[in-house]
Amino acid sequence: MAYENSYGAADTNQNIIIENRSRLSVSGVESVISFDENTVIVNTVQGTLYIHGSELHLEKLNLENGEVKVEGQFEGLEYEETALQGGGLFSRLFK
């Protein structure tokens, strides 16, 4: 269950911890979109997160608590902005 602040919006806090470029912990995870040995893609409260590297595997997944732990050699992290943050088609047309 997501914590709601005084404005009624769901909690959007997220933590990312990288240990020695070989262990990664992410909080605020809503779902795992896909994963293979080179890329893990997760949907988070801050947007879609792409985890790039080699020999990646999910060590732990707990969607109830919104946590995922990944092991492997990390080369980069990248966020894709969500549609709500970037605005929809009409908001871009009518600026």
Reported pTM: 0.73
Tokens 């600026």: give the residue: 95
**pLDDT at 85 > cutoff 60:** no
- Per-residue pLDDT band at 7 (split at 50, 70, 90): very low
91 falls within a domain: no
Q: How many domains does the chain have?
A: 1
Summarize pLDDT for 8-56 with one digit per residue, the tens. Answer: 345 678 999 999 999 999 999 999 999 999 999 999 999 999 999 999 9
Q: What domain range includes position 39?
A: 1-18+26-82
Domain containing 77 — which CATH number?
Answer: 2.60.40.2000
CA distance linking residue 40 with residue 1, whole number of Å: 24
52 falls within a domain: yes
* One-letter amino acid for residue 12 of the chain: T
**pLDDT at 92 > cutoff 70:** no
- Per-residue pLDDT band at 88 (split at 50, 70, 90): low
